Amino acid sequence: MNLLALALIAAGTVDELAKAPKQSPSPSLEVSGFAGPSVVAGDPALPEATDSFRRVGIYGELGVAFRSRYFLDPFVCVGYGTLASGDTELPDGAWGEGGTLSQRLDAWLFSPGVTADFLRFRLRVGLGFAVVVQRFAFRGDESSTTQLPLAWQGGLGFNVLESRSFRLDVESRFVHAAGAEVSFGVLGVTARGDLVDFR
């Protein structure tokens, strides 16, 4: 067999490989964990009387998703964040003797949604509801208020590590709870792994 014949065979093999359909990732049931520091938008109710106000907190989330062969992957997630806290010095007034009012803002997020992968980027959109809890402590008395507003979230992630059954993303999120007027952003890390592979 001469060199020309070998070249023709090699060219034909390359051509057949190019025409062969690409293998798409197999469907799987995926679990994920997301965590990172959060920053709340807005100011305290009485900024002139608030000595300490912490708008930086911690947010964490657990989720389950179905990774399909197609463009959109549905998910459902539950998240919790300790978002903000502060101390406000109240003067004497109609409520009686003044003192330090300690406040804390926490939130739960329950959200289904979809993600879409493009190259190494991942877009995320979700719509659900939040449980926004404000806690107050004043002169030894503690109280709290709870709101259940609709909430939406959006995110953009970048995949930095991927194997057959595990993925690691750097991701930014924005969450807005309408009605409670609570908005916060998160920059964190998402770890995703296949719980069941439908290969």
With 50 as the cut, is the pLDDT of residue 6 above it? no
Integer CA distances (angstroms), 172 to 13, 88, 114, 187, in order? 44, 31, 16, 4
- What residue ranges do the domains of the chain occupy? 26-197
Q: What is the pLDDT of residue 179?
A: 86
With 80 as the cut, is the pLDDT of residue 105 above it? yes
**Reduced 3-state DSSP string for 118-172:** ECCEEEEEEEEEEEEEEEEEECCEEEEEEECCEEEEEEEEEEEEECCCEEEEEEE
Query: What is the fold of 26-197?
Result: Porin (2.40.160)
Asked if 128 and 112 touch (Cβ cutoff 8 Å), the reply is: yes
> What is the phi/psi pair of residue 114, to 5°?
-135, 155
Query: Which of the four pLDDT bands, split at 50, 70 and 90, describes residue 198?
Result: confident
